[in-house]
Each structure stands twice: as structure tokens, then as C-alpha cells.
């Protein structure tokens, strides 16, 4: 069911310095910061030949990234995103298997303008998993 690794998301306390590490030290192509208020993050996309890295900085009062950074103040891997062909089919299959979808289970428009869902880390080997329809 799952296809390519779409991106690895890394929560960071300081987006500017994290961007500088990837752009200047590692020589990667990086985007301008993109605020996503619905998701409580500002993100920078790092383009790699085979996948992307998303740097996530908290945005707003109730950012899920802020809570993550309380536990990991230096930042860390926040989630992995796998591609699926049909998000509704994927969700229904996972619900039938007894997995938990975060939120109300309805796909939301994610950072790339495509529908996404998030799977509970307790069902996914301790890792927050995003599925994105491509």
C-alpha cells in the first residue's frame, strides 16, 4: 500500500539556524520559510535527490511542535511521511486493522497541498507516521 518516502520531518527550535546548516554546511537546496497556521508550524523544505526533509518550527500558541520540543529541546525527528495512491482507501484499510488515526480521521490538506492523515505512534513502532496522497 505505501509507496515512496515523501519526507522526513525534523522539529527544530530555530528555523533560521537549522536552514543554514542544510543550505550552507550541507550544500542542499532549501525553500523559503512557509507558515502553515492550520498545522501550527512554519516549515522549510530541503530538497534532496531522492526525498525531502521538512524543518518544522512551532507557530502559534498551540503548536504540536512546541510540545515536542519541550521533550527534545534541541530538536529531533518528528515524523516520517509515506506516499499512498488513495488516502481514503488507505485510511479505511488501517481503521479496519484497528489502527488509530489522529484527529477526526478526515484527511487534511498538508504542507504540499495534498491530503494527509497521521497515524498514532503507539500503533506504528513508536513513530508518528504521515500518509500523503500523491
Upper half-sphere CA count for residue 54 (Cβ side, 13 Å): 23
Q: Which residue stretch of 9-17, 18-26, 29-37, 66-74 sits at the interface with Co ion (rule: CB under 5 A)? A: 9-17
Q: End-to-end alpha-carbon separation of the chain, Å? A: 13
For position 9 contacting Co ion by CB under 5 A, the verdict is: yes
Catalytic-residue membership of 32:
no
CB of 110 to Co ion, least distance (A): 6
> What count of Cα atoms within 13 Å lies in the side-chain half-sphere of residue 47?
5
Shortest approach of Co ion to residue 49 CB, angstroms? Answer: 19
Does residue number 130 form part of the binding site for Co ion (CB under 5 A)? Answer: yes
- Rounded Cα distance between 38 and 58, Å, is 12
87 binds Co ion (CB under 5 A): no
Q: Is residue 57 near Co ion by the rule CB under 5 A? A: no
How far apart are CB 129 and Co ion at their closest, in Å? 10
Using CB atoms within 10 A of its CB, is residue 130 exposed (0-12), middle (13-18) or buried (19+)? Answer: buried
| Among candidate residues 74, 94, 72, the one with its CA nearest the CA of residue 82 | 94
How many positions of this chain bind Co ion (CB under 5 A)? Answer: 3
Q: Which of 54, 57, 83, 130 is catalytic?
A: 130
Question: Which positions touch Co ion (CB under 5 A)?
Answer: 9, 81, 130
Active site residues: 130
Amino acid at each position: 500500500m505505501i509507496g515512496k518516502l515523501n519526507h522526513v520531518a525534523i522539529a527544530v527550535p530555530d528555523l533560521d539556524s537549522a536552514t543554514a546548516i542544510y543550505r550552507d554546511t550541507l550544500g542542499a537546496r532549501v525553500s523559503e520559510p512557509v507558515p502553515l497556521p492550520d498545522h501550527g508550524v512554519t516549515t522549510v523544505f530541503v530538497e534532496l535527490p531522492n526525498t525531502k526533509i521538512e524543518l518544522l518550527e512551532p507557530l502559534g500558541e498551540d503548536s504540536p511542535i512546541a510540545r515536542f520540543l519541550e521533550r527534545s529541546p534541541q530538536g529531533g525527528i518528528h515524523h516520517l511521511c509515506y506516499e499512498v495512491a488513495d488516502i481514503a482507501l488507505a485510511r479505511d484499510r488501517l481503521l479496519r486493522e484497528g489502527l488509530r488515526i489522529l484527529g477526526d480521521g478526515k484527511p487534511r490538506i498538508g504542507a504540499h497541498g495534498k491530503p494527509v492523515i497521521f497515524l498514532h505512534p503507539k500503533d506504528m513502532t513508536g513513530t508518528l507516521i504521515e500518509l500523503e496522497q500523491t
